[in-house]
Homo-oligomer: A and B are copies of this chain.
Amino acid sequence: LHLDSLDVLKNIQTFSQRGKMIRGGLVALSYTLFTPTVRSSIMEEITRIGAALELLQSSLLIHDDIMDRDTIRRGVYSFYYNYHEIAKKRSLRDPYHTGESLGICGGDIAFFLAFDILSTLHLNNEMNMEILGLCAREMFIVGVAQMLDVYRGADTAMLDENAIINLYMYKTGRYTYALPLKIGALISNIDYHYMHTLQTVGELLGTVFQIVDDDIGLFGNEEEAGKPIGSDLKEGKKTLYLCKIYNKAGEKDRERICSCLGNSQITMKGIEYIRSLVIRLGVRDELYKQSLEMTDRAYSLAASLPIVSEKAKDIFHWFIDFNMKRMK
């Protein structure tokens, strides 16, 4: 069995290294927040957990791109699309579908690599199992949230704003923020009753992160976003921005909004139209304010956590600020 004949390990590695590595970093941050004397042997284990979380993230993104038919991710060809190009070059049958199939396998392989790493942790045995279980359960929730996302993207009906906020909370809040924060806290052995607060902080920060992401996807440039501008629109993604302008718009604008949504042929003029509506109807300001409020709530909740030093507090506050400030 020639494991490297399709360079899958190299491709997964390259793909993973292009990420922002938020998750891996957050485990280390959280451990530092709650541990008076940081131990380097534990930091080594945390590095491995971080690597596993990044692999889990890679696998989700690899599968997401197939579902969304995104050809660009993190500034280069998406994982499956890269295999599509290889399949085309080598004159394989049905190159697009072959690329998709190899992408499904590649995502699966990244999942297994992540769980393989987690199965070789050297923390205490109960902690090892608890971390594994946390990861498996949060990934389960992301999977279900992703199904809903796919379903709603394909549905022509508009959504209410709460449904979208909920999805952001589960897809990004729980998994990208709360999970690594909780793992770090678990390793620090902090009292269990803080876990719930930490989870809420993670959910708030994750929701803000997602709103900022939507903003960059609409107003940012391709380089910042790592994907073509307007791709959310093309895929029919019902972002908070879109939902809010729809709810505020008149009959005529609603029709035009719907004709933009899920339209893979949308022009720059169409994108400009959506942008101007977002600003004119005050939606951008509104979401900026909402993000600020959620950030403030995260701040106050963080004040009740048993963070070990003023310096650690400063770092956490810097992180909370940074999360918001990506949106200029």
Q: Render A134-158 as a binary contact track against B, CB cut-off 8 A, 1 for contact.
A: 0111011101111110110111100
Known: A1-B166, A102-B151, A147-B106. A116 touches B93 (CB 8 A): no
Is A315 an interface position by the 8 A CB rule? Answer: no
Is the CB–CB distance between A1 and B108 below 8 Å?
A: no
Which one, A37-45, A122-130, A220-228, is touching chain B?
Answer: A122-130
Known: A104-B66, A105-B143, A167-B1. A136 touches B150 (CB 8 A): no
**Assuming the A-B contacts A63-B104, A66-B104, are A92 and B132 also in contact, with contact meaning beta carbons closer than 8 angstroms in the complex?**
no
- What are 7 contact pairs spanning A and B, CB under 8 A? A69-B97, A98-B150, A107-B108, A108-B111, A115-B135, A119-B130, A120-B133
Is A202 an interface position by the 8 A CB rule?
no
Residues in B with CB closer than 8 Å to A153 are: 93
Assuming the A-B contacts A98-B150, A104-B66, A151-B98, are A111 and B109 also in contact, with contact meaning beta carbons closer than 8 angstroms in the complex? no
* Residue numbers in B under 8 Å from A126 (CB-CB): 125
A279 within 8 A of B: no
Give the contacting residue for A129; candidates B129, B140, B167; CB below 8 A: B129
Closest to A117 in B: B136
Copies held by the complex: 2
Whether the pair A154, B98 counts as a contact (CB closer than 8 A) is: yes
Other-chain contact of A140, B93, B97, B113, B170 (Cβ < 8 Å):
B113
Determine the chain B residues whose CB is within 8 A of the CB of A113 once the complex forms. 136, 140
Would you give the 0/1 interface string for A1-43, flagging 1 where the beta carbon is closer than 8 Å to chain B?
1110110100000000000000000000000000000000000
Q: Which of A231-263 contact B (CB under 8 A)?
A: 236, 262
**In contact, B156 and A91 (Cβ under 8 angstroms):** yes
> By the criterion CB–CB under 8 Å, are A140 and B116 in contact?
yes
Majority DSSP secondary structure for residues of A touching B: helix
6 tightest A-B CB contacts, nearest first: A125-B125, A119-B133, A67-B101, A92-B154, A116-B136, A109-B143
Say if the beta carbon of A322 comes within 8 Å of chain B: no
Kindly state whether residue A94 has any CB partner on chain B within 8 Å: yes
A302 interfacial by beta-carbon distance below 8 Å: no
User: Does A194 reach chain B (CB closer than 8 Å)?
Assistant: no
- C-alpha gap A145/B3 in the complex (Å): 8
A101 CA to B97 CA, complexed, in Å: 13
| A216–B3 CA distance with the chains assembled, in angstroms | 30
Tell me which of A2, A108, A129, A130 has the highest count of chain B C-beta atoms within 10 A of its own C-beta. Answer: A108
Which of A112, A132, A133, A236 has the most C-beta atoms of chain B within 10 angstroms of its own C-beta? Answer: A112
Query: CB distance A92 to B1 under 8 Å?
Result: no
> Which of the residues B92, B111, B151 comes within 8 Å of A6, measured between beta carbons?
B151
Complex CA distance for A147 and B105, rounded to whole angstroms: 6
Cβ of A327 < 8 Å from any Cβ of B? no
Q: Does A87 count as interface, using CB distance less than 8 angstroms?
A: yes
Task: Say how far A274's CB is from chain B's closest CB, in angstroms.
Answer: 19
- B132, A119: Cβ atoms under 8 Å? yes
19 other contacts beyond A1-B167, A69-B97, A115-B136, with CB at 8 A cut-off? A3-B144, A5-B148, A6-B147, A8-B144, A66-B101, A90-B155, A92-B151, A92-B154, A93-B262, A98-B154, A100-B100, A109-B140, A111-B111, A115-B132, A115-B135, A118-B136, A119-B132, A120-B129, A129-B129
